[in-house]
């Protein structure tokens, strides 16, 4: 993924000039900001390891929404190890190890354009996390990579959701499959796959309606969408991307668990990182669910979706 | 793992059997658990810290209520403090100014402003208002369409904004229109924005100045984490909010953000969104929120019911009687009646500290038994109730007839009463610490 990043950097001058490069740099600093901006500050002055440093560390982790359980888990290990350490720098290295270990290795992840055509990506999540926006940005990203993209507007529930995704399809200059508002979303998804196959599309993005994970019948509906996609194209969807909002706290764990039970999440996207929320709960989610965080949303613009690379992130965090 | 705060507190207080005032040690131990519960509920770290230190100040030296354990007493203090912080009752919108009054909905992207605008309009309409929906989100694709569609679904009038218009122009035009058409409340649905977006925050300030709204409500997601303080703080600083609406409360989030937001802004929470339907908007109830954040509705309702049912003075009198071994059948009946007022016996035992569901599964309580006992005691003369020893053969027959029971039943009651009195003599120093002592069956 780090390689991806460099490749893109090389492409920037002829494409969008400084804009994209600037965004990438911004994205990197955003990546750095996720979770723990304050932690560097803790270590910046030459402090000795004492209870107050550990307490402040604990505060930073909790303030980053990492969650009480995971914070306590990490703090217990860190403070145990800290007894053998003398400098804050060494403590930093220990912490770095601990946090790296939270993110499942995403290196073996292959490009979704890989083997089968079309690759079907289903975008899911609770209301208001930014599913449609993320999907629109993904459409642009894949199109820029030279892929042929199609969107299925399977959020038939929320008023004007179809119009919203249509605008994104226009912006990304990709095709869209839609029914009327109130139509069966599974049927839209099915038609999406059908059209994707017929048109020789590389990637099909399916937009689904936001739903609270505790709404049993809506989760059943989501299962049905997935089943109908699989019926038309065996092995699909190839990716179930769950969109999490960085401002969300501990509830993200419950969301991820129930969405995973229903439709099996394969990747995470974390949105709204351009605010002040640190989005630490994603570390908890990635850790407990063993699902990679693939994308981070850092702004409203069509290019404001970045690949997330844990290694890059950890290094950026501490260097 | 522990299910909820009350379990945690019970385990923390297991060792503490002391009576009377709460000791500092007991409070610290209890508050450690409360702090964890708050953090797990997404209450901001610093807010939680402040709340805990306030509670500690209040709790130190407080007497433990007779009907409660120390753990429950700490919960009660926490709960009272919470309810105090959240506001004592539901606060309505103040829309009594000269019509049309404007209500501005502001917040982050995806908080649920547009959906809430529709729900609120419907709510106001039901309450005799003539609301006018005003879509001002000229940025998000199809946001205006969304509100227009909602309006037509709900049969509510919507100002016909377009994306090309400027937000303030929309508002002013809508205000004029409302005057012409006789709409008394404008519901201004603004675009979602990040609190750190200076340009867009300035736009909101401009809308406020131009429109002079009666209410500026922050629409916030109940699932918000630690950042709730920054979000709410920034919106409040820029706009001086008049209140907050918490959305997506139908999920399983504990909603600690409510406490954080209240602590930072001091502004009342006015409504909660509880579902996808347009009618799923409810007035906010502080006490319910308090127990939700603490994750312990059961224990709280028990404490509430105990407070209601047990008259403090009566309880003290009873304890005196017990101590002097003057606890009569009459007192026995009164005590039982006040216990029964709190709910079914099995339910109540389930709420007692140290009792878990496993223990309850083997317990088969016949609630009718208590009705019979009451009937038996009611069939006695006052004298008999005070001196049970005088109840012999013919009296027993009369009592059985009067209460529709048998002499055996009367005997059984008298036997358990004497046994209880023996027990009371033994544990006299223990007093009425727990209700369990009162249930010899």
Q: Residues spanned by CATH 1.20.120.140 within chain B? A: 3-85
Provide the shortest C-alpha distance from residue B169 to chain A (in Å): 23
Arithmetic mean of pLDDT, B202-211: 96
| Structure ipTM over 0.90, yes or no | no
Instruction: Kindly report, residue by residue over A149-173, the tens digit of the pLDDT.
Output: 999 999 999 999 999 999 999 999 9
Instruction: Kindly report, residue by residue over A198-224, the tens digit of the pLDDT.
Output: 999 999 999 999 999 998 899 999 999
Q: List CB contacts of B173: < 8 A, sequence separation 6 or more.
A: B159, B165
Q: How far apart are CA A43 and CA A66, in angstroms?
A: 19
Chain A 85-104, CB below 8 Å of chain B: which residues?
A: none
Residue A10's pLDDT band, with cuts at 50, 70 and 90, is: very low
How wide is the angle at C-alpha A220 spanned by C-alphas A214 and A221, nearest 5°?
Answer: 110
Backbone angles phi, psi at A306, to 5 degrees: -110, 150
Tokens 């217990």 locate to A76
Q: What is the mean pLDDT of chain B?
A: 82
Tokens 């505790």 locate to A214
Which spans in A34-115 are helix H? Answer: 37-44, 51-63, 68-82, 88-100
Chain A 257-276, CB below 8 Å of chain B: which residues?
A: 272, 274-276
Q: Residues spanned by CATH 1.10.260.30 within chain B? A: 303-435
Provide the shortest C-alpha distance from residue A114 to chain B (in Å): 31
Q: What is the mean pLDDT of chain A?
A: 82
Instruction: Kindly report, residue by residue over A14-41, the tens digit of the pLDDT.
Output: 333 344 445 545 555 555 555 445 566 6
Q: Is the pLDDT of residue B51 over 50?
A: yes
Within 10 angstroms of residue A16's Cβ, the number of other Cβ atoms is: 14
Tokens 């006015």 locate to B270
Question: Hey, what domains does chain A have and what are their CATH numbers?
Answer: 14-100 (1.20.120.140), 119-309 (3.40.50.300)
pLDDT at residue A314 in the model: 58
Contact B75, B258 (CB under 8 A): no
A175 three-state secondary structure? strand
Q: How far apart are CA B287 and CA B300, in angstroms?
A: 10
pLDDT at residue B245 in the model: 96
Arithmetic mean of pLDDT, A240-264: 95
Within 10 angstroms of residue B138's Cβ, the number of other Cβ atoms is: 17
% of chain A surpassing 90 pLDDT? 49
Q: Is the pLDDT of residue B68 over 80?
A: no
Is B254–A63 a contact, with Cβ atoms under 8 angstroms apart? Answer: no
% of chain B surpassing 90 pLDDT? 42
Instruction: Kindly report, residue by residue over B266-318, the tens digit of the pLDDT.
Output: 999 999 998 888 888 988 887 777 777 776 655 555 555 565 555 556 666 76
> Which residues from chain B sit within 8 angstroms of residue A246, using beta carbons?
227
Is B108–A275 a contact, with Cβ atoms under 8 angstroms apart? Answer: yes
Instruction: Kindly report, residue by residue over A40-60, the tens digit of the pLDDT.
Output: 666 665 677 788 888 888 888
Q: Is the pLDDT of residue A319 over 50?
A: no
Q: Is the pLDDT of residue A129 over 50?
A: yes
Q: Is the pLDDT of residue A313 over 90?
A: no
Nearest to A275, CA basis, from A37, A108, A95: A37
pLDDT at residue A3 in the model: 33
pLDDT at residue A239 in the model: 96
A5, burial (CB in 10 Å: exposed 0-12, middle 13-18, buried 19+): middle
| Architecture of the B101-285 domain | 3-Layer(aba) Sandwich (3.40)
pLDDT at residue B109 in the model: 94
Residue B395's pLDDT band, with cuts at 50, 70 and 90, is: very high
What is the helix (H) or strand (E) element at residue A270, kind and residue range?
strand A267-271
Nearest to B218, CA basis, from B180, B260, B158: B260
Which spans in A17-50 are helix H? Answer: 18-33, 37-44
Model's pTM, two decimal places?
Answer: 0.76
Residue B112's pLDDT band, with cuts at 50, 70 and 90, is: very high
Q: Which residue of B has its CA nearest to A252?
A: B223
Q: Is the pLDDT of residue B348 over 90?
A: no
Sheet with A203-208: list strands edge to edge.
A175-177, A149-154, A203-208, A119-124, A239-245, A267-271, A293-297, A305-307
Contact A295, A50 (CB under 8 A): no
CA A295, chain centre distance (Å):
4
B2 vs B150, higher pLDDT: B150
Residue B343's pLDDT band, with cuts at 50, 70 and 90, is: low
Q: How far apart are CA B91 and CA B270, in angstroms?
A: 6
Q: Which residue of B has its CA nearest to A55?
A: B45
- Asked whether the CA dihedral B46, B49, B55, B61 is positive or negative, the reply is negative
A103 vs B354, higher pLDDT: A103
Third-level CATH fold of B3-85: 1.20.120
Q: Residues spanned by CATH 3.40.50.300 within chain B? A: 101-285
Q: Is the pLDDT of residue B195 over 60?
A: yes
Q: Which of A214, A249, A277 sits opposite B252 (nearest CB)?
A: A214
Question: Residue A244: beta bridge partners?
Answer: A270
Residue B170's pLDDT band, with cuts at 50, 70 and 90, is: very high
How far are the Cα atoms of B9, B430, B433 from residue B18, in angstroms, in the given order?
Answer: 15, 10, 10
Instruction: Kindly report, residue by residue over B16-45, the tens digit of the pLDDT.
Output: 555 556 777 777 877 888 888 889 889 999
Tokens at residue A235, please?
Answer: 């092995």
Q: Is the pLDDT of residue B431 over 80?
A: no
Q: How far apart are CA B384 and CA B252, in angstroms?
A: 55
B303-435 maps to CATH 1.10.260.30: yes
Q: Is the pLDDT of residue A247 over 90?
A: yes
């Amino acid at each position: 993924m780090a390689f991806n990043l460099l490749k893109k950097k090389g492409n920037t001058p002829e494409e969008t000039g400084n804009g994209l490069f600037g965004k990438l740099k911004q994205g990197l600093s955003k990546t750095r900001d996720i979770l723990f901006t304050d932690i560097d500050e803790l270590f910046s002055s030459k402090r000795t390891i004492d209870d107050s440093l550990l307490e402040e560390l604990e505060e930073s982790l909790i303030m980053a929404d990492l969650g009480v359980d995971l914070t306590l888990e990490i703090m217990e290990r860190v403070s145990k190890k800290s007894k053998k350490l003398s400098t804050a720098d060494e403590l930093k290295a220990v912490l770095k190890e601990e946090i790296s270990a939270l993110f499942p290795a995403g290196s073996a992840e292959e490009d979704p354009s890989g083997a089968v055509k079309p690759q079907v990506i289903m975008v899911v999540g609770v209301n208001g996390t930014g599913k449609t926006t993320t999907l629109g940005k993904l459409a642009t990203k894949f199109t820029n990579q030279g892929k042929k993209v199609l969107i299925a507007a399977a959020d038939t529930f929320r008023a004007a959701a179809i119009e919203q995704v249509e605008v994104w399809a226009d912006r990304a200059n990709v095709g869209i499959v839609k029914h009327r508002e109130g139509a069966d979303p599974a049927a839209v998804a099915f038609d999406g796959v059908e059209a994707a196959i017929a048109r020789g599309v590389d990637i099909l993005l399916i937009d689904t309606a936001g739903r609270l994970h505790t709404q049993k019948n809506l989760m059943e509906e989501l299962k049905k969408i997935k089943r109908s996609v699989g019926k038309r194209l065996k092995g699909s969807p190839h990716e179930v991307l769950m969109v999490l909002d960085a401002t969300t706290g501990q509830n993200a764990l419950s969301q991820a668990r129930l969405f995973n039970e229903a439709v099996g999440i394969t990747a995470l996207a974390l949105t709204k990182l351009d605010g002040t929320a640190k989005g630490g709960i994603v570390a908890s989610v990635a850790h407990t669910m063993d699902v990679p965080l693939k994308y981070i949303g850092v702004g409203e613009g069509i290019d404001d979706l970045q690949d997330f690379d844990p290694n890059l992130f950890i290094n950026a965090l501490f260097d | 793992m522990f299910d909820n705060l009350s379990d945690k507190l019970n385990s923390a207080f297991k060792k503490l059997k002391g009576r009377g005032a709460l000791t500092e040690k007991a409070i610290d131990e209890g508050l450690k658990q409360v702090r964890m519960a708050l953090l797990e509920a997404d209450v901001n770290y610093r807010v939680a810290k402040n709340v805990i230190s306030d509670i500690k100040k209040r709790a130190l030296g407080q007497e433990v209520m007779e009907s409660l354990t120390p753990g429950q007493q700490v919960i009660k203090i926490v709960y009272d403090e919470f309810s105090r912080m959240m506001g004592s009752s539901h606060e309505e919108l103040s829309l009594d100014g000269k019509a049309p009054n404007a209500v501005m909905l502001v917040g982050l992207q995806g908080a649920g402003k547009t959906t809430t605008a529709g729900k609120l309009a419907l709510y106001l309409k039901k309450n005799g208002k003539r609301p006018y929906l005003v879509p001002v989100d000229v940025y998000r694709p199809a946001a205006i369409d969304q509100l227009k569609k909602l309006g037509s679904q709900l049969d509510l009038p919507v100002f016909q904004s377009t994306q090309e218009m400027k937000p303030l122009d929309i508002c002013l035009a809508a205000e004029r229109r409302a005057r012409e058409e006789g709409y008394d409340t404008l519901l201004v649905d603004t675009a979602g924005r990040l609190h750190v977006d200076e340009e867009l925050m300035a736009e909101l300030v401009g809308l406020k100045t131009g429109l002079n709204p009666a209410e500026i409500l922050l629409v916030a997601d109940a699932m918000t984490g630690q950042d709730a303080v920054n979000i709410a703080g920034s919106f409040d600083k820029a706009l001086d909010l008049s209140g907050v609406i918490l959305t997506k409360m139908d999920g399983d989030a504990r909603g600690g953000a409510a406490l954080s937001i209240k602590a930072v802004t001091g502004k009342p929470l006015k409504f909660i969104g509880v579902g996808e339907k347009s009618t799923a908007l409810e007035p906010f109830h502080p006490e319910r929120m308090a127990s939700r954040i603490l994750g312990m509705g059961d224990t709280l309702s028990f404490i509430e019911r105990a407070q209601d049912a047990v008259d403090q003075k009566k309880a003290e009198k009873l304890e005196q009687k017990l101590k002097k071994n003057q606890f009569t059948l009459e007192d026995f009946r009164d005590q039982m009646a006040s216990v029964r007022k709190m709910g079914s016996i099995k339910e109540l035992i389930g709420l007692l500290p140290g009792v878990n569901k496993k223990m309850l599964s083997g317990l088969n309580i016949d609630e009718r038994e208590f009705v019979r006992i009451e009937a038996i005691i009611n069939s006695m003369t006052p004298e008999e109730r005070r001196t049970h020893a005088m109840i012999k053969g013919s009296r027993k027959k009369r009592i059985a007839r009067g209460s529709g029971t048998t002499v055996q039943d009367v005997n059984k009651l008298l036997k358990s009463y004497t046994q209880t009195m023996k027990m009371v003599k033994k544990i006299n120093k223990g007093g009425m610490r727990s209700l369990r002592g009162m249930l010899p069956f």
